Every structure is written in C-alpha cells, then in structure tokens.
Structure 1
C-alpha cells in the first residue's frame, strides 16, 4: 500500500542534477547557461548560473552617457528621503538590485533571478544569479548573501516593499540567513514619485526610463509574462526567450544607476538640469518640506521668467510663502498682489495672506478688510475657509470701530 502511494507521488518529485547523477556539462543546466551567456557555479548544495555584464565609460543608456567616475554628483541622503543635511552616501557602497520572481509575493514566491549592480573601475558591472531549478535555491541564495555586506547601501525600485521581503523570507526558509544586514536601503520609486509624478503621471520603471532617461527597450518582455516563461522552462527544458528575462532584469539594474545619478544631479544644480514647470514645482515642494526656505527663494527666482510665461501661479504662490517664511515680506507682498489681481485659485489664498499681512504686520485694518472682502468674492476652495473669512470680517470691523472711537 505504502509503495503504491510513493509511486503515485514520485512523478511530482524533481531531482537536481547532483542527486540524479547528471553531469553539469552537457546537461539541461548547461543548455540554459549557454542561452544566458553565463557560467555554471556548482556547489555541494546546488548549482546556479552566474552572468556578468560590464558597461564601460563609453556606454550610453538612452541619451545619457555613463557618468564619469571622477565627476559623480554628491549623493546626499536627503535627496532621496528625509534625512539630515550632513549624511552623504558613498557610491562605492551602492548595490543596485532587482529580482524576477515566480509570483507577486507570499511565502511560496521564489526569486529565481537576482541581479546586482555596482561601480567597477571606470564603469558599471552587473552580476546576475539565475536559479535553474528549485532544489538549487540554497546555493544561489548563499552567493546572493555574499553580495550584501553590513556596509552595503542597497538601491532598488519598490524593493523595500517587494524584493527585500521575498529575499529575506527565502533565506530564512533555506536556512541561509535569519537577519539580512546592510547599512541602508534607498528605494527610488518614492523619490521618483515626489520629483516627477506631477509631470510624467505614471512612475513605473518603464515609463520613467522613457520620460526621464530617453531609454526605449527593444524586444522587451512584459513583466507579467516572466513567471510563466520560467515555469515553462522547468516543465519543458525550453530555453526559448529565457535570455530576454535576463536582459529585462539587466536593464532594470542599469536604469537604477542612471536614475540615481539623475536625481542627485538635479539637486546639485537644478537650474541646469530641469526646465519643466511641473518639475520645478515638485522640487520646490521637496525643498519646502525640508524647511529650506532660503534655498527655495533662490531656486524659484531662477525660474521666475518660466513661471510667469506659463502663468504658473501655483509656483508663484509657493515662492511668496517661501519669502514669508524667510522673513522677506516686501517680496511676498508683491507676489500676493500680483496673484490676487488674477482670477485663479491662488487668488483667494493670496488675498487671505494680504489680509493677514495688513492686519498683523502693517496694522492697516481697513486695507486688511478690503483684501478679505476681495478674497470672499472669489469662490473659497472649501466651506471652512468661508467660515474663517466671516470671523475675520467681524474681527476687523471691531478693530476698525475701536480705532475710530478712540480718536
């Protein structure tokens, strides 16, 4: 009875080349390695394929040339997430990474291709680890573990929420590592959204490559097809288009390096790197959240002509608030009066700011009342704003009456 049950289940058991006595050379693994232009790495606990690609200083990614190693921008951590001004990231410690997986997450999802990129000599090197079959996962993960050191700064695109949890879970399951240690993790997805979503709308990596790097992939496979293509290999030993999976992963990693350099360069010299009003507004808001009011004022002054030519009153109003927070009310009032004279959404808020200024700073209650009434004539953006205006009108009328009675 037991023998019959084992017989029925035996056809579901996949043997690794080592267990089956199959030689690595000339095997299905060798065929896959040749398709991927990689090398078989055989260990006592399994076999995987390692693929290495190098990009020298003459390489172009879209219209962007490989950054000069000696002229890289300064990678301040605050350019990528909330961080102290003094924290600077060492590009020598960067490890760009991306995975191709059998699913969208969960304990059963396996990362069958894990790629890493780092600076090498005068260029960039990508090392990819490909899992030819599930029994070899432990060996591949041990090689992956060796890539990540305690001083490593990981760089990914949505890797904090997706890739790292999968890698960490699989390392625990395979008893490779219980606590994956690294110095930091920069997730560029959130950085790109803050800086470019206002202009490019969709921030998936493919669209970012096209809109920001001017890089268009040729014969790329959609990400949703990758798992089924890998399962097809496992079931049939068919290497058809497996090289395209590796190329897809390779392009992802190279793009991460160029995107990171692009973002750092924008922060270092914004007037030289951006020209679109939406990007100007986004970067100004990022700087404003860091409370760099003086820098915002100087930055937006460089784009004053651009803001006016496109009638970007949202940018001009943000500029006026930066003047206010920096204590430069003279320049702030000039912008508020200019915006208040127009029939735009920011006219309401500019009128309110003028009312505040003349009431609390200039002590001119009559003029404050005039700007309050003018703001009221513009449709308030929300009901609570109308309530605040009515309170302000009553208060100003009382102040005017008291001043008149004291004469």
Structure 2
C-alpha cells in the first residue's frame, strides 16, 4: 500500500495539533534516529529545545527542468546589465545573496497553524545548497527559528506566493518566540507567483507551481507526496516518531525550492532577452510589466515589437499603450498615427483610441472639426450607456466651440 493511502486511512486517528506536547527532549534518545542519520539529518540544540536539520548539495551542472544551475548563476549575473526598475531585478546582488524559500505547515492560516518545515536553497560557490529545518514537535519552535534565522539572509527571499502566505506565516509564528531569537526585519522579496500569474495565466487554468513546472519548466514529478497530505504526515510523525513520511515531505519541499531556482531563471531570461519571447502574448505581458514597473524605455521597445507582430487584438492593445506613452513623451504625431490605426480596428481598444484621438485634435492641435469626427467615431463604437452620454456631452461641447469659431 502506498504512503498516501496509508495516511488517508490513518487520518481520523491522528492526534491534532492543539493536543500535542513536546514528546522528545534533547537529553533523551530521539526515536528512529538511525533513519534520520541515514538521510543526512543533524541535531541543533538551543537552550532546552532542539530541531532537526538537513543539508543537500547539487553541482551547478545539475539540470532541473530546462535549465542547469549554472544557467541560473549566469542569469543572475546578467541582471547587472539591465537598465531601469523591475520587481525581479537582481542587479547589485551576487547569486549567493538570493535565498529560495518555501515552508510546510499544519494548516493554511491562523495562529493555530504551525510551520513544521522551513526550506532554503542558494547558489553557493560551485554548488547549490539546500538547507531544511524541521520541527520535531510544536514545543521546539524556538530552536527552529534560532537555527533558521542564524543561517538565512531573509533580506533577499525568492518565494512562490510568499508575500501572501509564507512570510506572514513566519511572522505569525515568530511572535511566540521573539523574546529568545533574533527579530524579523523588513526584507526584499521576489515573489514568483505574481510573476507567473502575469505571464502564464493565459496558457493554463491554474498557475500552481506544479502546473508551471509541467507546462513551462519541463519538470514532471513522479512519486511525489501531494502537498495537502503534509499536515497528516507531520501529525503521524509526532505520534509515532517514524520519519518515513516526513522525509518524503522534505523531498517534496526540496523539489519546490529547486523549481523556484529554475522558474526564476526562466522568467528572468524572458525579461532580459527579447529574442526568447516566442509567443505574442508573453511578449505583450512582458511589455506591460515594464510599463507597470515604470521602466518606460524598455516598455516602449517591447510595445513596438508587439505592434510589429501583426494586426490582432494583442498588437492593437500594444499600439494603444504605446500611443499613450508617446503622448506623455510629447511625440504627438507618432501617437496620433497609432491611435488612428487602433480606432479603425475591431479591437476592444478602438473606442479608447478614438477618444484619445479626439483629445489630441482638440487640445493639442486646436482642430475642432477633426476632434468632432473622432468623437462621432467613438460614439459608434460603444453600446455602453454611460460612455455614450460622456461622448454626447463631449460632442455638444465641441459643436458649441465650432459654432463660436465659425461666428468669429
């Protein structure tokens, strides 16, 4: 019978967290320690508590998905040549500065949810080092956080949904031990979940990490413990002391962390190298990302590329966004040319483009007749009652202005 089936059968019999007390003190023999030692585990003692740690090392030539860890190292270095701002920019950092981070918990949220496994990975010289910190029972959190905070540079964490989940969970649990361990400062954070949603949500129903692995990174997991079984496995360990299931959870956590390195490499390459943006939608989303990051020069170049790719919805949306940027840069004629193109298309941006064109003719060039034509075109492009009233109000004002000009 598989581990997953065993645990599902045992689920109703497992003691819940609120009833648990520390079972093993560091001055007593730890149950099944031979199995832990065989897996490379070590003990860390802190005052009257302890935690279990484990370290794994990978060569930079190791390939996880489409990339080796040497590719990751090079990509982080490549950020040095990037100009402007970007949420994932590692400019100014060494590869070893980034800590790829993931946790396993007994629940999704709330003060009753305990983090029982903290995992990190970093490019450390000629290798990638994975460190894991395991909580043998809920009464040993001080030792867990003392060890983790001692060895982790939490100013440069790379996570998957860590801003919303992982780090708030750490902060919540840290409050219970903060008098005995280092404080948690503010920190830099690269959250790859938000990056994945931006770039890949149009290609898959869900951007869970396992889906991104399979569809984007070339990683297919086999023999992996499902994440939702992790709490059951932990409670089983606390009750029985057999680490068989926990070691499988640790392997799952390790794979998650290594996948963060591969994902950071892939997304960074898409940002840094225009030639790798093979499909129109990804190229367009990268351009929008530059735009939202305030990196106007890179956004302009990327939007120009999207505009040249064709006449479809994406190209017209890119043309509209580029026109707005050109208008801000006072390149009015170039902006008007793009707005004219989009206003005559069947894209969802046609109405907006016609309105922007009307504004240019009226306010920039004082050409009221052309402004009226553009506004009338906009009126024909919408069935929205609110938008129609706004355009009709604009037309009334423009026609009044035209009559005054004619009288003079």
Question: TM-score, structure 2 length as denominator?
Answer: 0.83
Residue 188 of structure 1 is matched in structure 2 by 192
SS at match of 2:223: coil
| CA 391–302 in structure 1, closer or farther in 2 if over 3 Å, else same | same
| CA 307–176 in structure 1, closer or farther in 2 if over 3 Å, else same | farther
Selected match of 2:33 from 29, 36, 40? 29
Question: Which whole-Å deviations, capped at 9, do the CAs of 1:130-163 have from their partners, x for residues lacking one?
Answer: 223334433332211211348x422222223322
SS at match of 2:163: coil
| CA 296–139 in structure 1, closer or farther in 2 if over 3 Å, else same | closer
Distance 2:202 2:85 in 1: 20
Selected match of 1:158 from 161, 167, 173? 161
Question: TM-score, structure 1 length as denominator?
Answer: 0.84
Distance 2:315 2:106 in 1: 46
Structure 1 residue ranges without an equivalent (≥5): 1-10
Farther-moved stretch of structure 1 (167-176 vs 155-164): 167-176
| CA 149–214 in structure 1, closer or farther in 2 if over 3 Å, else same | closer
- Say which one has the larger Rg: 1
Residue 106 of structure 2 is matched in structure 1 by 102
Distance 1:139 1:334 in 2: 65
Q: Is the 8 A contact 1:33 1:49 kept in 2?
A: no
| CA 362–233 in structure 1, closer or farther in 2 if over 3 Å, else same | same
| CA 253–333 in structure 1, closer or farther in 2 if over 3 Å, else same | same
Distance 1:297 1:187 in 2: 25
SS at match of 1:73: helix
Residue 138 of structure 1 is matched in structure 2 by 142
SS at match of 2:366: coil
- 1:280-319 alignment runs, 5 A limit: 280-308=283-311, 312-319=315-322
Distance 1:40 1:64 in 2: 33
Between the two proteins, the alignment pairs up a number of residues equal to 385
Selected match of 1:73 from 69, 78, 85? 78
Selected match of 2:23 from 11, 15, 25? 15
Structure 2 residue ranges without an equivalent (≥5): 1-18
| CA 165–146 in structure 1, closer or farther in 2 if over 3 Å, else same | same
Distance 2:197 2:90 in 1: 24
Distance 2:40 2:314 in 1: 54
Q: How far did 1:395 drift?
A: 1.6
Residue 205 of structure 1 is matched in structure 2 by 209
Q: How far did 1:198 drift?
A: 4.2
Distance 1:79 1:292 in 2: 7
Distance 2:236 2:312 in 1: 56
Give yes or no for the alignment of 1:249 onto 2:253. yes
Distance 2:205 2:331 in 1: 34
SS at match of 1:67: helix
Q: How far did 1:253 drift?
A: 1.2
Q: How far did 1:55 drift?
A: 1.9
Q: How far did 1:246 drift?
A: 0.8
Q: How far did 1:230 drift?
A: 1.2
Distance 2:26 2:344 in 1: 80
Q: How far did 1:245 drift?
A: 0.4
Distance 2:134 2:65 in 1: 27
Q: Is the 8 A contact 2:23 2:137 kept in 1?
A: no
Residue 325 of structure 2 is matched in structure 1 by 322
Residue 387 of structure 1 is matched in structure 2 by 389
Q: Which has the higher contact order (CA 8 A, sep 6+)?
A: 2
Q: Is the 8 A contact 2:324 2:335 kept in 1?
A: yes
Residue 344 of structure 1 is matched in structure 2 by 347
Residue 3 of structure 1 is matched in structure 2 by none
Distance 2:74 2:90 in 1: 21
Question: Which whole-Å deviations, capped at 9, do the CAs of 1:230-279 have from their partners, x for residues lacking one?
Answer: 1112223344433220111101111222222333333322x123222222
Farther-moved stretch of structure 1 (46-55 vs 225-234): 46-55
- 1:225-240 alignment runs, 5 A limit: 225-240=229-244
